[in-house]
Chains A and B, each alone.
Chain A
Amino acid sequence: MKNYESLVKKIFPVFAMLLAISLFPVFLKNNYYLTIGCQAMLYCIVALGLNFIVGMSGMMTLGTGAVYGLGAYTSALLSTKLGVNPWLALIPVLVMGWLIGKGLGFPSLRVQFVYFSLVTIAFNEIVRNLLTNLEFTGSGTGVRNIPPYSIFGFEFNTQLRSYYLIFAFLVVFIIIALRIAKSKWRRAFIAVKDNPEALEVSGINVSSVKITAFTLSSIFGCVAGALYAHFNRYITPSTFTTDLSISFVVMLIIGGLGNFWGCILGAYVVAFLPQLLRSAGTSYKLIYAVLMMLAVILFPNGIMSDIRRSVGKLINNGKGFSKGGGIGENRTGN
Chain B
Amino acid sequence: MKTVLEIKNLTKRFEGLVAVKDVNITVKERQIHALIGPNGAGKTTTLSMINGTLEPTSGKILFGGQDITGMPAYKIAQKGLGRTFQNIKVFGSLTALENLMVGAMHNNNKGGVLRMLLCVKETNAMERTMREQALEVINEIGIYRLKDEYARNLPYGSQKVLELGRALMGKPKMILLDEPAAGLNTSERAEFVEILEKMYEKGIDLFLIEHNMDVVMNISHMITVLNFGQKIAEGTPSQIQSNPEVIRAYLGNRYKTIRKTEESRGNANAGR
Contact = CB atoms under 8 A, between A and B. Distances in A.
On whether the two chains bind one another, the answer is: yes
A132 to B, nearest CB: 34
Nearest to B152: A194
B42 interface: no
Interface in A162-215: 176, 179-180, 182-185, 187-188, 190-191, 193-195, 197-206, 212, 215
Interface string B138-177: 0100001100100000000000000100110110000000
A201 B53 contact: yes
A168 to B, nearest CB: 17
Interface in B34-51: 51
B92 to A, nearest CB: 5
Contacts of B109: 184, 204
Interface in A297-334: 328-329, 331-332, 334
B133 to A, nearest CB: 13
Contacts of B148: 328
Nearest to A175: B117
Contacts of A329: 145
B77 A203 contact: yes
A190 B113 contact: no
Interface in B85-113: 85, 89-94, 98, 101-103, 105-109, 112-113
Contact of A197 (B53, B92, B130): B53
- Chain B: interface secondary structure? helix
Contacts, number: 110
Contact of A185 (B53, B94, B116): B116
B116 A179 contact: yes
A200 B74 contact: yes
A77 interface: no
Contacts of B94: 187, 190-191, 194
Contacts of A180: 113, 116-117
Given A187-B94, A195-B89, A179 B117 contact: yes
A334 B73 CA distance: 35
B103 A202 contact: yes
How extensive is the interface on chain B, given as a class?
Answer: 35 or more
A204 B74 contact: yes
A216 interface: yes
A178 to B, nearest CB: 11
Contact of B90 (A184, A195, A206, A332): A195
Contacts of B53: 197, 200-201
B123 interface: yes
B144 A202 contact: no
A212 B116 CA distance: 13
Contact of B127 (A183, A198, A332): A183
Given A201-B51, A201-B73, A187 B101 contact: yes
A198 B106 contact: no
Nearest to A182: B127
Nearest to B91: A194
Interface residues of A, number: 33
Nearest to B170: A203
Given A183-B116, A216-B113, A202 B77 contact: yes
B123 to A, nearest CB: 7
B116 A202 contact: no
B74 A205 contact: yes
Nearest to B144: A332
Contacts of A206: 74
A191 B106 contact: no
Contacts of B183: none
Given A191-B102, A199-B102, A176 B91 contact: no
A180 B120 CA distance: 11
A197 B91 CA distance: 10
Given A205-B72, A205-B74, A329-B145, A184 B91 contact: no
Contacts of A332: 144-145
B24 to A, nearest CB: 24
A201 B83 contact: yes
A331 B144 contact: yes
A201 to B, nearest CB: 5
Contact of B74 (A176, A184, A203, A258): A203
Given A180-B113, A185-B113, A332-B144, A195 B105 contact: no
A159 to B, nearest CB: 31
Interface of B: 51, 53, 72-74, 77-78, 82-83, 85, 89-94, 98, 101-103, 105-109, 112-113, 116-117, 123, 126-127, 130, 139, 144-145, 148, 163, 166-167, 169-170
7 shortest A-B CB distances, which residue pairs? A203-B106, A203-B77, A198-B89, A194-B91, A328-B145, A203-B78, A200-B73
Interface of A: 176, 179-180, 182-185, 187-188, 190-191, 193-195, 197-206, 212, 215-216, 258, 328-329, 331-332, 334
Given A183-B123, A204-B109, 13 more contacts: A184-B105, A187-B91, A188-B102, A195-B89, A197-B85, A201-B89, A202-B102, A202-B169, A203-B105, A212-B112, A215-B113, A328-B148, A329-B145
